[in-house]
Structure 1
Amino acid sequence: MLCIRSNTLDPAFNLATEEFLLDNKADECFYLYINRPSIIVGRHQNSLAEINVDYVKKNNIDVVRRLSGGGAVFHDPGNLNFSFIMNKERNNTEGFKKYTRPILDVLISLGLDAKFEGRNDLTIDGKKFSGNAKCLYNDKILQHGTLLFSSKLPDLSNALKVNPLKFQDKAVKSVRSRVTNISEHLKQPITLARFENLIFDHVRSLYPDSEIYNLSDADIAAINKLVEDKYGTWDWNFGSSPQYNFQKGIKTNGGFIEINLEVQKGRIEKAKIFGDFFNSRDINELENFLNGMPHDPQHIKEKLNSIQLDHYLENVSVEHFMEGLF
């Protein structure tokens, strides 16, 4: 087994590394990484429906889609992430318990009453500190999980707070649970770095053939290419979202506006705008202008700034209209 630790906080690079290891290493792998503030959405989720767009934009939070299913999770430098990449033929009957057991071993050794509960969660006193997900890929199994150690829980709550009435789709929805940080339950405080070392060393002790592996320059170049082509792109992180309908009403200086969007593969297929606003040009022109655009704030704002929006929505600024689109 190759045991690897990341030296970057870039979530796109770290998720691309998981795919690279799945696709390019014959050895089984264990990978530990920490990300800067980011939301990691499940493979089958509608990304926009899982995030608080305004908060995410204001705080420069990355949104990256992962290979595995399940719900969206918030990462920050107080959250440790672990991945097991194993051969399918050897582990095809194994569930989440096998690869969360090493984590529980370490926590129990620290005096915590940590448990595996439900389908894929680890808890302390009934509060979740770890969510886990998995996928099959090229005859291998990827199972990975989060470990909330000293995360900023208010940031987690705010980043994932979204109005469910805005979206109608069949995408997988995240289930919010009461969460806690591991550090809050330790009798003797330790640093996240120390906690990471304990996990890394314990996993190595469980696999006698394990060796510490550092990514080579060729590995890093290939991973960066995967970031450029996939994990750092709008098409993967948002355009891969399932079909959905979006609806939102806003009050503006020009009156009430209701916006309805039908979105397919992240692009607006049909826009309809209703309200008690005044206009000097046919609102259908604005609707047609929006059709075909990515449902992406930066792209839409840039396009709207190229037209005279007040011809269609009198006394409505681009910034205010944008509030109704997300």
Structure 2
Amino acid sequence: MIFIDNEGHTNPKLNLALEEYALRHFDTSTDYLLFYINEPSIIIGRNQNTIEEINQDYIDRHNIHVVRRISGGGAVYHDLGNLNFSFITNHDGKSISNFKKFTAPVIRVLNKMGVTAELKGRNDILVEDKKISGTAQFSTGKRMISHGTLLFDTDMSEVAKALQVKQSKIESKGHKSVRSRVANISEFLKAKMTMQAFKQQLLIGLYEASEPFETYKLTDAEWQAVHDLKAEKYDLWEWNYGRSPKFNIQRNKRFSVGEIDLRIYVEKGHISEVKIFGDFFGRQPIEDLENLLQGVRYDKDEIKKTIDNIAIENYFGKLEKPEFLNLVYGTD
């Protein structure tokens, strides 16, 4: 097995691009191990509806990355206290969904550290019934990745805030996350340890179970290809938000002008249809506003730009534009 050196990069979009690039382009006769640590970010599962999983207001205020990964499963929070591991191997027809095969070496090393970890359910590593790791897989047919998180010293208060979705009625076919009781590995260690020391000890422990590892450093050309993949995919709203499954939203609120009830239909990240109901009084047909919003990207800034040049009071009476925007995007 070869250990891939990510050279200390903490940008989640770059790290996920590196992982995918290695999966698709590295030597298929070799197994690889990749470690990476990300800046504060929410990593969305391949089949999830992004806005259903995140607190967008909080994320915007705290500059938290939102990135979709190529594997399935639920949304997870990453920060500098979370170590991610990724095994890149051939798909032998038996390994996909065999989470035990890839978590066993990690569990063995954790047990050696005095952390009584065990695989519970399908793909979670638990200590004393608290989740310290979740794993997911993806296969190209010939190659596969089995990757996971290791909550070492993550800020748990941030996990709750960043993943606390605002209350609204969203109907989606996307895979919804199931929240579990979580804990940090550092809570179960007998002596304090830095993240770097933990990473090194884990790596040494994994070395012991196999032939000596070789460390691989990417060439300049390979890094350029990784940056290109990041720019062409992981940097894009279309991948991180627009790829969400078709979903419907219902929101209503009573204002001084009356009640406004919205039904929004979103497909491929864009508003395919919107219907506005209520007991408000306006001077212009509400259908004009509905038609204006149709086709707009379901993104707060894009919606704001769309309504910036219209007089919203013509449709509802004395209603402030930010009030309507908050209702459309569910930020209040």
Same-fold status (TM-score > 0.5): yes
Partner residue of 2:178 out of 158, 175, 178: 175
CA RMSD of aligned residues (A): 1.7
Give, in angstroms, the shift of residue 194 of structure 1. Answer: 0.6
| 8 Å contact kept, 2:37–2:80 | yes
1:46 counterpart residue number? 49
SS at match of 2:66: strand
| 8 Å contact kept, 1:35–1:76 | yes
| 8 Å contact kept, 1:47–1:238 | yes
Pairs within 5 Å for 1:1-326: 1-6=1-6, 7-26=8-27, 27-89=30-92, 92=95, 95-163=98-166, 165-208=168-211, 210-326=213-329
Q: 2:255, 2:202 → 1: CA distance?
A: 53
Give, in angstroms, the shift of residue 204 of structure 1. Answer: 2.9
| 8 Å contact kept, 1:3–1:204 | no
Q: 1:56, 1:10 → 2: CA distance?
A: 16
Note the alpha carbon deviations across 1:146-165, whole angstroms, 9 max, x for none: 11111111111111112565
Listed as ranges, the gaps of 5+ residues in structure 1 are: none
Give, in angstroms, the shift of residue 248 of structure 1. Answer: 1.3
Give, in angstroms, the shift of residue 91 of structure 1. Answer: 5.6
Q: 1:278, 1:57 → 2: CA distance?
A: 34
| 8 Å contact kept, 1:51–1:160 | yes
Which amino acid counterpart does residue 4 of structure 2 have in structure 1? I
Paired residues in the alignment total: 326
Give, in angstroms, the shift of residue 65 of structure 1. Answer: 0.6
Distance change >3 Å, CA 176–CA 218, structure 1 → 2: same
SS at match of 2:92: helix
Give, in angstroms, the shift of residue 144 of structure 1. Answer: 0.5
Which amino acid counterpart does residue 46 of structure 1 have in structure 2? N
Q: 2:221, 2:214 → 1: CA distance?
A: 19
SS at match of 1:223: helix
Note the alpha carbon deviations across 1:31-79, whole angstroms, 9 max, x for none: 1111111111111111111111221222221111101011111111111
Give, in angstroms, the shift of residue 121 of structure 1. Answer: 0.3
Q: 2:192, 2:72 → 1: CA distance?
A: 34
SS at match of 2:277: strand
TM-score (norm 2): 0.93
Which amino acid counterpart does residue 274 of structure 1 have in structure 2? F
SS at match of 2:23: helix
Q: 2:264, 2:186 → 1: CA distance?
A: 44
Give, in angstroms, the shift of residue 275 of structure 1. Answer: 2.2
Which amino acid counterpart does residue 15 of structure 1 have in structure 2? L
Distance change >3 Å, CA 266–CA 157, structure 1 → 2: same
Give, in angstroms, the shift of residue 312 of structure 1. Answer: 1.9
SS at match of 1:323: helix
Q: 2:244, 2:197 → 1: CA distance?
A: 38
